[in-house]
């Protein structure tokens, strides 16, 4: 995998680079992941970025561990056990076993991954959540999720496939059809590809558009959150993206 990354922080968090963190390793066929700090910890005077950044540091350091052996679920568990910062984060990790062409994915929460092949999204992870807008998450506190709660997938990939990994700032604001269209439009096959920048820019633009019918607002309506009945009678409905940190990793096979 030839992988590149693009990060656009939430405007209120830009001065510190946001609360997402990511890593990319060229071990074996490639290993990469994202952790998204849970912003609610700021209400307790805890910097949400500390947990996500430490978790990602341990992920990167543990990639070559004999204990891991290319298993992203084990990698998540090892990194979580080593993280001592106060806070919480959602996370996703993917490992490519180069000889087999097997992409293995483990995630806790609502960071996600899409596999684009021949202009179509042929694989997509699903978010894990306790209820709307409250995803599964690793935590420093008792009661959070562990690696045993991971959603685990194995996908055989072929040359020309494009893997798109992102924090929820991407998937709350960009539909899969637009991810596939963007990847197909650029068709760049190296680490300097424009795809990740285009996707992050699209997500950022949509997140700021109060009239955009985003994946986030669409899901909110499905979950029973909508405008008051009197506004519905006027033909209105809930719209708008979700302003957030946006991290996009794009890997070309």
For 37-68, letters b (16+ CB in 10 Å) and e give: bbbebeeeebbbbbbbbbbbbbbbebbeeeeb
pLDDT 10s digits, 16-29? 899 999 999 999 99
pTM: 0.94
Query: 188 pLDDT band (50/70/90 cuts)?
Result: low
221: containing domain: 2-252
pLDDT 10s digits, 30-76? 999 999 999 999 999 999 999 999 999 999 999 999 999 999 999 99
pLDDT 10s digits, 220-242? 998 988 877 777 777 778 899 99
Task: Compute the distance between CA of residue 216 and CA of residue 220 in angstroms, rounded to an integer.
Answer: 6
Q: Into how many domains does the chain fold?
A: 1
The CATH number for 93's domain is 3.60.40.10
């Amino acid at each position: 995998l030839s992988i590149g990354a693009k990060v656009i922080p939430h405007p209120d968090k830009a001065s510190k680079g946001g609360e997402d963190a990511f890593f990319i390793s060229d071990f074996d066929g490639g290993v990469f992941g994202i952790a998204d700090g849970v912003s609610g910890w700021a209400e307790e005077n805890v910097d949400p970025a500390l947990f996500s950044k430490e978790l990602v540091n341990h992920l990167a350091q543990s990639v070559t561990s004999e204990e891991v052996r290319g298993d992203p679920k084990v990698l998540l568990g090892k990194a979580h056990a080593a993280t001592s910062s106060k806070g919480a984060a959602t996370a996703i990790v993917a490992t490519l076993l180069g000889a087999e062409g097997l992409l293995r994915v483990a995630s806790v929460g609502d960071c996600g991954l899409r596999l684009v092949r021949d202009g179509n999204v042929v694989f997509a992870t699903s978010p894990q959540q306790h209820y709307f807008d409250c995803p599964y998450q690793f935590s420093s506190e008792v009661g959070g999720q562990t690696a045993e709660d991971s959603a685990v997938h194995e996908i055989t990939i072929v040359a020309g496939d494009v893997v798109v990994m992102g924090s929820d700032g991407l998937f709350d604001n960009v539909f899969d059809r637009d991810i596939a269209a963007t990847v197909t439009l650029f068709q760049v096959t190296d680490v300097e590809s424009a795809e990740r920048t285009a996707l992050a820019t699209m997500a950022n633009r949509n997140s700021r558009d109060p009239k955009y019918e985003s994946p986030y607002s669409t899901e909110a309506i499905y979950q029973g959150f909508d405008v008051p009945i009197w506004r519905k009678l006027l033909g209105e409905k809930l719209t708008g993206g979700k302003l957030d940190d946006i991290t996009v990793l794009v890997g070309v096979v």
